[in-house]
Chains A and B, each alone.
Chain A
Amino acid sequence: MPKTSQSAKLAPISTISPPAADEVRIPISCDVDIVKARQAGRRLAEDVGFVFTELALIATAISELARNIVRYAKSGEIAIRPITNSARRGIQIVALDRGPGIRDVEQALQIGFSTAGGLGLGLPGVRRLMDEFDIQSKLGQGTTVRITKWKD
């Protein structure tokens, strides 16, 4: 089970994703944008050193997040960047929207909350594909999901 943290406060964009030189940001509002985000994510993840099966899972996570934006918030943004800590390299993806927000985040992460969730897709599915998962949502203000996958 990946690390999960939640907080009700929605941080301003600047603190969520400090600008990085190799960061890619893709505005999301339709299916074509989902493809762009996947492509960008796959390219960056490949540079980090992920193998092709891992790339498929990363692209899938991006798809699920981007799908949620298109479906629930109509528009938003996905930012992708390579990250490093002392030991490892990885990739971080931040999906951000100013949509209706999620009433009960805890519940949204449960299997069976939505149709997609019932199959283990959607947010619960994304959380399982990643090493770290962080979600902040406020009703009427929007949702930010930040996910990280480390290269072992």
Chain B
Amino acid sequence: MRMASATKPRSRSLLRAYQAAMCEYVKKPREAGLERAYELGRRALEQGAAMVDVAGIYHHALVAVLQRTKEPLECVRKTRVAGNFFVESLSPFEMTYRGHHEAQAALRQLNEGMEAEAKRIAHALHDEAGQLLTNVHFALERLADVLPPCSQPLIEDVRFRLAEMEGQLRRLSHELRPPMLDLLGLVPALQFLAQGVTQRSGIEVVVQGSTPERLSPLVETALYRSVQEALTNVTKHAKASNVTVQVQRQKSEKDAMVVCSVKDDGVGFEIQPLSGEQPRHGLGLLGIRERIKAVAGSLELKSAPGLGTELCIQVPLNT
């Protein structure tokens, strides 16, 4: 996919400039030539080219440089000089690459911090707010003792509402940081989450699949949060009546990965590739993308108006 971009007009002009500069440098290996290489690498980067694009361009240029060279020793010399040019043109990518690593580490740290905070709030909700509600229960019982019998139905109604509130509070605190995720793993936690979504929204959410063994806590949390976010998107925008969440472990010869998909039968939407202007639900998707990136995974969104939406996440398990 990346290599195809070498045929785009902008890449073609980059290719021509790269080839000309490299030919020049091979003839006259001076600092100015290396500076040119660095500038071209920078330009490629700013145009959104990948490192492999530059490698492809270099390869083309090298073929052109060597085409009319018969003498073997001269071929060796030219290849070596061209190699210097190549390294120089990759140098700007090295800067970005290091920045990317740092950003990734920062992102992971941020997510871990958010998880810890979610845990804290979940506990506070469960323990402290739960305790307050219990106090209200006691006060209500005392009140029931002194009120005339005719007010009992009213008391009973308040009791019922309190119990309902308690249940909802517990559920929310568990969804915020499901103890199940730590205790039982991803699929049971997702099933619990799905029940809550169905209860609140009326959308039928089915969770299928299993993972034979526990995944790393980082991966489990990233997937749980991503599905949570995806389900929020579905309830907010999709006008769906059914959602299927699937978790599967896939094994190929080289590496194992977990594949997790969230598919709804809602209204869908037009996906605008690579455009800055995403529809409003793009923001939640951005959060998912960042989370999945932090565990070296990838995601794919499939949707079209009237055809529902499917989010498919792949995370490698060797990390």
Contact = CB atoms under 8 A, between A and B. Distances in A.
Interface string A111-126: 1000110011100111
A59 B98 contact: no
B31, B39, B98, B102 interface centre (most CB from chain A within 10 Å): B31
A1 B102 contact: yes
B88 A128 contact: no
A111 B102 CA distance: 10
Contact of A38 (B31, B84, B102): B31
A120 B100 CA distance: 8
B35 A63 contact: yes
Contacts of A129: 94-95, 98
Interface in A59-84: 59-60, 63-64
10 contacts: A38-B34, A42-B34, A53-B87, A56-B34, A111-B99, A120-B98, A120-B99, A121-B96, A126-B95, A128-B95
Contacts of A1: 102
Interface of A: 1, 31, 34-36, 38-39, 42, 52-53, 56-57, 59-60, 63-64, 111, 115-116, 119-121, 124-126, 128-129
B191 interface: no
A128 to B, nearest CB: 4
B103 interface: yes
B38 interface: yes
Contacts of B64: none
B53 to A, nearest CB: 15
Interface string B65-103: 000000000000000000010011011101111111011
B87 to A, nearest CB: 5
B96 A63 contact: no
A119 B31 CA distance: 25
A42 B102 CA distance: 27
B46 interface: yes
